[in-house]
A and B are shown apart, each in its own frame.
Chain A
Amino acid sequence: MSSNDIDDYYFTQRHPSEINTNARGDEYAKQVKQALNYCEANGCNPDVEAALRQEYRPFQMKMPGTLREQTYMMAVASGPEIASVLMLLGIDILDAIDDQLLSLPSPSYQNPWQGEILSITIEHDTVMYRVWGGDAAQTGKWLTPIRPSTQAEARSLLALPPNNSAIYISEVHVPAGTRIQIGVAAPNFGQPGGAVQVELIDRIPTSAFGPGEPLPRALLPRP
């Protein structure tokens, strides 16, 4: 999918009455999405908007409702990094992972994930980290559960865009009950990725984002 296609998909508007009900599959999903874009931008009858959301929901589900065992197998298949991070966070995979795995559309121009993504609900208040600076704001939905040691490490393993200078790191207190997606950062922006990253599905209060601390440019050599 090219960036133009994605732009078209995410930002083009179509009046709900212009949906071609004979369209099928991806084309129908696209038209429903565009109608939702229209409603978001211009306002619609609430019943129409609710119906559109319901219509679009099946297309948001990359995976059908899964059994817990299938989910567990997927978690294991996703690699040891995620499984170990879930353990670090005190999350029991079988208990915590939702029966349905939502795979929401990626907001960036390139898929930020590699491999499978797990959708879970945080069971306990959890500290995560946000790397920011330059054009990137202190507050945002992209976090990592593992504190990077240096700017270079963060840029590389989290595959940050060049306009994110990564000079600051903030602790983020993610409250229990927050829905997240967790997975491995895909190669992007000329960076290899590979670190575990988190996308907050639920917005949390801006006060949850702590002050920025300078992130070392590089590790100091041992004396």
Chain B
Amino acid sequence: MEIYKFILENGNLVIINSLDNSVIWQGKPNNSIVKQIVELPEMEMCIVLLDPDQRKGTFRNLIAMDTNGYILWKAELPDPLGGDVYLDVSLQDDFLVAHSWSGFKVIIDTKSGRILSKKFTK
């Protein structure tokens, strides 16, 4: 049984202890609206996509959070000096896959947030 649950609720991330349904952490990471989450229960963490429209310019908006609400990493961007941001994220065959504003489809290491591979899609 999974002890921790990550829930997206009205732009907030809510982390719940399933054993007693207590809220461990809730809020907007980096003061940004949460657009999407991907739970990784085996790693007791959650990938959080912050709303790309929240900030102008380069915005490292793909982050990993642990069950206490701490940010573990911010994902590397494929074009960090070009005002880049992530637009979506998904888990495909245990790989974290995301699209960037700069036109890349990237695979990201869930342990570090580093880009493992990238393809230019335009």
The answer to whether A and B come from one shared complex is yes
List residues of chain A with CB under 8 Å of any chain B CB: 10, 33, 36-37, 40-41, 104-105, 107-109, 112, 132, 134-137, 139-142, 158, 160-161, 163-164, 201-203, 205-207
Q: A108-B120, A203-B56 are in contact. List 18 more A-B contacts (CB 8 A).
A: A10-B79, A37-B81, A40-B60, A40-B80, A40-B81, A105-B81, A107-B78, A107-B79, A108-B122, A132-B121, A136-B103, A139-B99, A141-B101, A141-B102, A141-B103, A160-B122, A161-B122, A203-B52
Contact across chains for A104 and B80 when beta carbons are under 8 A apart:
no
Is the C-beta of B57 less than 8 angstroms from some C-beta in chain A? yes
- 13 example contacts (A-B, Cβ-Cβ < 8 A) are as follows A10-B79, A37-B81, A40-B77, A40-B80, A107-B79, A107-B103, A136-B99, A140-B87, A140-B101, A142-B122, A160-B122, A163-B121, A206-B87
Contact across chains for B82 and A137 when beta carbons are under 8 A apart:
no
Counting residue pairs across A and B whose Cβ atoms lie within 8 Å, the total is 85
Top 9 nearest A-B pairs (CB, nearest first) are A137-B99, A136-B121, A40-B80, A107-B79, A135-B105, A108-B120, A135-B121, A107-B102, A142-B122
- Give per-residue flags for B82-122: 1 if the beta carbon is below 8 A from chain A beta carbons, else 0: 11010110000000000111111100000000000001111
Chain A nearest CB, measured from B111 CB (Å) = 16
Q: Binding site of B, secondary structure by majority: helix, strand, loop or mixed?
A: loop
Closest B residue to A142 by beta carbon equals B122
Chain A residues with CB under 8 A of B105: 135-137, 163
List residues of chain B with CB under 8 Å of any chain A CB: 52-53, 56-58, 60, 76-83, 85, 87-88, 99-105, 119-122
